[in-house]
Structure 1
Amino acid sequence: MRRLLAGLGATALLTGGGLALSTPARAAGCSGTSGVTVVVQSASSTDVRCAPGDPSTAGAALTAADFSVERVQTQPGAVCTINGLPAISCARMPPADNYWAFHHAAAGGARQYSSSGIYLYDPAPGSAVGFRLGTNASPTVAPPAAPAPTSAAPRPTATARPTTSAGSRPSASRTAAPKASTGAGSAAPRTGADATATSAPSTTSAAKNPAKPSAAQRAKATRAAEKKAESKKAEERSATAKKSAALKAKAKKTEAEREKKTSSSPTVSSTSTSAPAGETTRATGAESDSGSGALVPTAIGAGLLVVLGGAALAMARRRGH
């Protein structure tokens, strides 16, 4: 800020002496209740510009003020670089000590660290948004001043004149003049409307954006997020262990059923083989029965031979006598 004031003072002195000095072009902030003032400050420069009209978001105001913006690739709602700074890769979020901190302020108010992203915050016309590279410090350039209330002073003066000179024609003519100017839409009614329009967005801006969270609150939120992540991991590990135990139990059950089927198979085989064994016994008995039946004729034949032999021997003895 001091460098900016010193430069402006030197330029005024040289211009007053009739010397020509070329200075780098730098736009100024918005005046009045129209547009949004945009401040971009780094370690080496401070640039203040005006985004005309009523930008829908702070990101739209940044682009409308002719700043080049590159977003984070993994999080398109976050700013990575403004006018090429910082010189880092935009594949991921910038580090905590080298990012663009986003602040906002109503006209004549104090800057506040924004709790929402630049593409979610809607700045009111006449307000200011600021971006400072580094940690979460706010820009050093003050927000635009609030417009002075000028609607109340002229109106009582114009209405008081008819009362002091009632009944005289010059006084009536003087009273008629302010009435005519009021009906034509003079500066007094417009100023009152502007003052109302200015105060309303300021209240809306304060309602939309709470105060900057303290370091303790941020640390508490970080610890809560880490605790939640650890709890989720523990639940996942427990679910994995349960699933593994269920698979093991199922495998044991399948193996037991398989062993049961395997052990029951020999019994059936032995039963099936025992039946042929009985049949073999019966067959053997049948063969033995059939053999004994065949011996009867043989014995009869042998008996006949013995009888015939005995008869022949007896006849031979008789012949010898």
Structure 2
Amino acid sequence: MIAARFARFSAASALLLGACLAGAAPASATGTEGSCAEGAGVTVVVDFGDLGPQPLIRCAPGTPANGIAALQEAGVDVAGSQKYGLAVACRIDGKPGPDVESCAGMPSATAYWSYWHAKPGGTWESSQEGAQTSKPVANGFEGWAFARPKSANDLPAPPRVAPVRQAASPAQAPAEQGSSFPWGLVIGAVVIVVVAGAGIVVARRRRAQ
């Protein structure tokens, strides 16, 4: 009877250990910081202009379906307007705030996100179609710049970050990379099994006395 209980407990502990290891597996990240390596994807540049933060440069892997997808797959948050949805990019990475734009309909003609493209080794060109229908150039650049023209007739300026692929930083040596294996969970599960086994042995000895 005791042996059977121990076998059932060991099996349950093994299942618990497997579940812990499965739950600890890191989720795959979307996008990476910095420009894409050659052939790795589409580089997304976000220039916040006078809104304050430094420009974002991120890599969307592969070839995203459209300009909005490139932002999202690069790991940049984008929100559309209440009336037009993501057909109009109203906020990128939470900016501008509601004090500048309510996002109820079309953005103001003097405060909005301008959308740009560039081929590898080329220059920024203003997009002639919306970001939901525009197809990013494979291995190219997608650019967004917050514009505050003095009048609706003034043309927006392109992103202040040139569409040039940055040199990749040297990879870390394997010895410097931290291990992602969940040793804490493994040790905890082993301790549970050992303690339970010790309890069963004590119970058997008491019954034998």
Query: In structure 2, which of residues 48, 59, 63 is the aligned counterpart of residue 50 of structure 1?
Result: 59
> Per the alignment, in what secondary structure is the counterpart of residue 70 of structure 2?
helix
Question: As a proportion of its length, which structure holds more strand?
Answer: 2
Deviation at 1:98, TM superposition (A): 1.1
Could you tell me which residue of structure 2 aligns to residue 33 of structure 1? 39
Equivalent runs, 1:3-42 vs 2, <5 Å = 27-42=33-48
Equivalent pair of 1:39/1:139 in contact (CA under 8 Å): yes
Instruction: Specify the SS of the correspondent of 2:33.
Output: coil
The answer as to 2:77 corresponding to 1:68 is yes
What stretches of structure 2 of length at least 5 have no aligned partner?
Answer: 1-31, 149-155, 166-209
Q: TM-score, length-normalised on structure 2?
A: 0.55
2:134 counterpart (89, 96, 121) = 121
C-alpha separation between the residues in 2 aligned to 1:137 and 1:117?
17
- Residues 131-210 of structure 1 aligned to structure 2 (within 5 Å): 131-135=144-148, 136-145=156-165
Counterpart AA for 1:127:
G
Amino acid at match of 1:86: P
Q: What is the CA–CA distance in structure 2 between the aligned matches of 1:27 and 1:54, rounded to whole Å?
A: 17
Question: After the TM superposition, which of the residue ranges 101-110 and 42-51 deviates more from structure 2?
Answer: 42-51
Whole-angstrom CA distance in 2 between matches of 1:112 and 1:82: 20
Question: What is the aligned residue count?
Answer: 121
1:94 aligned residue:
107
Give the drift of 1:34. Answer: 2.6
Matched-pair identity in %: 37
CA deviation vs aligned residue, 1:197-247 (integer Å, no higher than 9, x gap): xxxxxxxxxxxxxxxxxxxxxxxxxxxxxxxxxxxxxxxxxxxxxxxxxxx
Distance in 1 separating the partners of 2:122 and 2:139: 11
Mapped partners of 2:139, 2:111: distance in 1: 29
- Give the distance between the partners of 2:111 and 2:76, measured in 1 at CA: 19
Partner of 1:111: 124
2:89 aligns with 79
8 Å CA contact 1:107–1:144 kept in 2: the answer is yes
SS where residue 78 of structure 1 aligns? strand
Distance 1:83 1:99 in 2: 14
What do the CA deviations read for 1:101-149 (whole angstroms, capped 9, x no partner)?
000000000110011000111012210010011142110111135xxxx
The alignment partner of 1:62 has SS state of: helix
Q: Distance in 2 between matches of 1:50 and 1:32?
A: 11
By how many angstroms is 1:33 displaced?
2.2
> 1:194 corresponds to which residue?
none
The CA RMSD over aligned residues, in Å, is 1.7
Instruction: For 1:95 and 1:53, locate their aligned partners in 2 and report how far apart those are by CA, in whole Å.
Output: 33
Supply the AA of the counterpart residue of 1:40. V
Residue 84 of structure 1: how far off its partner (Å): 1.1
Higher relative contact order (CA 8 A, sep 6+): 2
Aligned equivalents of 2:43, 2:63: Cα separation in 1: 11
Amino acid at match of 1:81: R
Structure 1 gap ranges (5+): 1-25, 146-321
Letter of the 2:90 partner, please give it: C
Mapped to 2, the partners of 1:33 and 1:79 lie a distance apart of: 27
